[in-house]
Structures are given as structure tokens and as C-alpha cells.
Structure 1
Amino acid sequence: MAEVMMQLGFFQFSIDDAAYQRLNRSTEYRWARQARIGTNDALQFTGLGPDTIELEGVIYPHFRGGLKQVDKMRTQASLGLPLPLVSGIGKVLGLWVVEAISEGQEIMAAQGVPYKQEFTMRMAKYDGGLRSLLRFF
């Protein structure tokens, strides 16, 4: 069985199929500024800003995993539901939504089948609270 790198909902990123080579995470923190006369601005923490993850990866569909891996990502994202994100070591990272998936294909074979697919997935942490989740069920 392949080593799972990360799981989003039912989709598993693993070494043997949809492996990502780069993970970028960005977390913002909001601070309001209040101008003061004769000194520095006063800063007040007003809460967390967006938390995003971008995955970049390469798929060799003829090697392992097949041609439908990016399609599976898109199908799951099109459900429009927040999905649990769990790291390969079992750390639960919370609920996340897929904001965008892009794909590039190269080294084409007969019938336009690519030997190499590159993908990028951008996700944002979902923090709509329990009440907003109840509308999905």
C-alpha cells in the first residue's frame, strides 16, 4: 500500500499516484492601527485572517494511479462541501474548502493522452462554525 502524504476528504495524496512536490501554507493575522500624536501607532489584534494551502504536484498516469486523478480531485471539490484535511502522520488540520484546481499536461501520446500531468490545488481553511455546517446535512 502506498504511503499517504495527506488526505482531503476521500482523496489521498500519496507517493505512488497524486504526489505533491511542494506545499505552501500562508496564515494571516489581523491588526488594526490607531494613529497617535507624537508616538507610534497603537496596534490591536482583531483576529485571524485567511489560512491557505497550495499544493503543487506531478502525476505520471502511466506509471501509477491512472488518468483520472485530477478528475477525482475536481469531482470532490465540486460537491461544495468543507472537507477534513489530515496529514500523513495523522494530524487533523481541520476543515478546508478547495478554491481552485489547475492542471497542465505534457509529453502527449496517441489520442492526446498525457504522460505527465502537473497540478496545483489551492485550499482555504473553513471556519464557518458548526451552525453553518448543519445546512449541508
Structure 2
Amino acid sequence: MLYSIGALTIDTQPFSVTDVQRSARADFAAKALIGAMPSREFMGEGDDTLTLSGQLLPYRLGGLTELEMAHGLRQSGQRLPVLRGDGKRLGWFVIDSISENHRDIMRDGVGFTVAHEISLVKVSPEGASTSVISTILSLFGAL
């Protein structure tokens, strides 16, 4: 396993990522001072974004089912735990956006290669336990 986003597992195949980018910020409030540079007051943690990108070969290895699952998680707006393959918990995230780029379109309208990018934004863990339970139950058709 390379990454886990809730119930979605990203591995070397059929659904893989080749690039990971993480960007984290801190928020500061600027306070104007007379005759000096503005003072900065730490306001807390800012946006923490994680971007996973890769390429699928749907006709050779598959991966479209997992991509559709990622779209379903994005549409639900659920808070999801994200784990890295070495077991490190990165925290709770929501899927902010997913982009797909189909190349060499086949007869059914699907690209022979599909480049994808999943952007996640870190959120607070409040209310996360109920969304995880509902995600697991929905996988088994209980909801």
C-alpha cells in the first residue's frame, strides 16, 4: 500500500500514484505599526494540502473503479483518515478536487492512459468517526 484515503487503497496497481506533493501553511495576522514593519501574530495552523497524482492503464491494469470511488468520496464531502504506506497517520482530510486527463481515447470513450490528480485538504477530526462508519457500511450496502 502506498496511501490509504478512508476505504480507498492506493497501491502500485491497478490504482497508483507516482507523485506526491504536500504543502502546509501557518496563518499570521498582520498588525500595522507606526514607523516600523508590520508585526505578525500567529493565528494557528493554516491550510495543509496533499496532492496525489499518477497514471492509470485501464485496459491493461484497471483502476477506473478506484477512481470512481474517489469521486464518490469527494461528492460525499466526508472527512477521511489518510495513512501513508509506512503506517504514518497524516490526519483527517477531505477530497477537494480530482482531475482526469484521458489520452489515446478508445472506442468506448475511455483513454488508454488516464492521468489523474487528487487534491486533499486537512480538516479537524470532529465528527470523523461517524463518517468513517458510514463509509464502511456503505461499502457493504448496509446504508
Report the TM-score, using the length of structure 2 for normalisation.
0.81
CA, structure 1 residues 111+44, in 2 after alignment: closer, same or farther (shift >3 Å)? closer
Could you tell me how far 1:12 is from its partner in structure 2?
Answer: 1.1
C-alpha deviations, 1:19-67, integer Å up to 9, x for none? 2122121111111222222333222111111111112210011221343
Counterpart position of 1:45: 42
Instruction: Tell me the distance in 2 between the aligned counterparts of 1:89 and 1:135.
Output: 26
Letter in 2 for 1:78: Q
CA, structure 1 residues 40+103, in 2 after alignment: closer, same or farther (shift >3 Å)? same
Counterpart position of 2:67: 70
Give the root-mean-square deviation of aligned CA atoms: 2.0
Report the TM-score, using the length of structure 1 for normalisation.
0.84
- Whose helix proportion is higher, 1 or 2? 2
Give the total of aligned pairs: 132
Runs of 4+ in 1 over 6 A off after TM superposition: none
Consecutive unaligned residues of structure 1, counting only runs of 5 or more, are none
CA, structure 1 residues 135+58, in 2 after alignment: closer, same or farther (shift >3 Å)? closer
Counterpart position of 2:98: 101
Instruction: Tell me the distance in 2 between the aligned counterparts of 1:114 and 1:40.
Output: 54
Consecutive unaligned residues of structure 2, counting only runs of 5 or more, are 135-143
